[in-house]
Amino acid sequence: MKSILCLFSGGIDSTGVLYKLLTSQEYMRYSIHAHFIKIINRENRHIAETRAVESCVAWLKENCRSFTYTENLMDFSSFKNFLLWDSDITFFMAAEIIAASDNMYKYVAHGVTKTDVDFANYGRRIERSTNILTSIVSSYNKSIEKLYPIKDLTKQQVWDMLPDELRKHTWSCRRPIYTGDTHKPCGMCKTCKQMIDMKIGWYADK
């Protein structure tokens, strides 16, 4: 059985992708492999994301069909003055997973929505990340197709698609505020502002 590699972070978009891959009839002929990269950088969001990923994975395995889950860590905490684009990192890791496999992967799935495309320079960023993916995979004489299961949906529509219980496990803030063992969204980053505008997630009642 061919497999789909899903780049997963526990955010609304990637959770929407994984949920759709696990529940939509069109993907039932594929096995699903979700991979999470703990990216440690100056935003310090890896703790909140890890908690979200663990909760989402547990819920999805209990309520949907079975799938493979893996993770790895990339530590960029010594880089204080710049951030690497998440898509560059995730597509690089996806390429290495695909290159090491025995031609088992048909697609690599990524959480791109209609909302994302509206951001300046998005097309240039995704083109660069795609070049990273294809250049590494092709160097091993392999090929892969990209898959964007929620590209025709807005972030609001992705949120509406998710079951209520699954929504509660997601995390999208890029600069969480930690107090002891708890964390809350910053309310100032790009994704927080999107959710404030749409009144979804933590801001639904505000």
Whether residue 202 is contained in a domain is answered as no
Whether residue 178 is contained in a domain is answered as no
Whether residue 182 is contained in a domain is answered as no
Q: Give the tens place of pLDDT for each residue, 6-62.
A: 999 999 999 999 999 999 999 999 999 999 999 999 999 999 999 999 999 999 999
DSSP state of 202: G
Domain count of the fold of the chain: 1
- The amino acid sitting at 142 is K
- Other C-beta atoms lying within 10 Å of the C-beta of residue 78: 8
Report the greatest alpha carbon distance in the chain.
52
Whether residue 144 is contained in a domain is answered as yes
Rounded Cα distance, 9 and 70, in Å = 12
Q: Quick one: pLDDT at residue 66? A: 97
The domain containing residue 122 runs over which residues?
3-170
Q: Give the tens place of pLDDT for each residue, 158-197.
A: 999 999 999 999 999 999 999 999 999 999 998 899 889 8
**pTM attached to this predicted model:** 0.93
Rounded Cα distance, 106 and 32, in Å = 11
Sign of CA dihedral 19, 24, 26, 30: positive
Q: Give the tens place of pLDDT for each residue, 137-167.
A: 999 999 999 999 999 999 999 999 999 999 9
Most confident listed range (125-129, 135-139, 195-199): 135-139
Q: Closest Cα to residue 87, out of 129, 47, 124, 55?
A: 129
SS3 content of the chain, % helix, strand, coil (to 5): 45, 20, 35
End-to-end C-alpha distance for the chain, whole angstroms: 46
Q: Quick one: pLDDT at residue 134? A: 94
Whether residue 36 is contained in a domain is answered as yes
Check whether 121 has a pLDDT greater than 80. no
CATH of the domain at 84: 3.40.50.620
Instruction: Grade residue 206 by pLDDT with cuts at 50, 70 and 90.
Output: low
Whether residue 201 is contained in a domain is answered as no
Whether residue 97 is contained in a domain is answered as yes
Q: For a pLDDT cut of 90, what percent of the chain falls above it?
A: 77
- The amino acid sitting at 62 is E
Whether residue 166 is contained in a domain is answered as yes
Q: Rounded mean pLDDT of the chain? A: 92
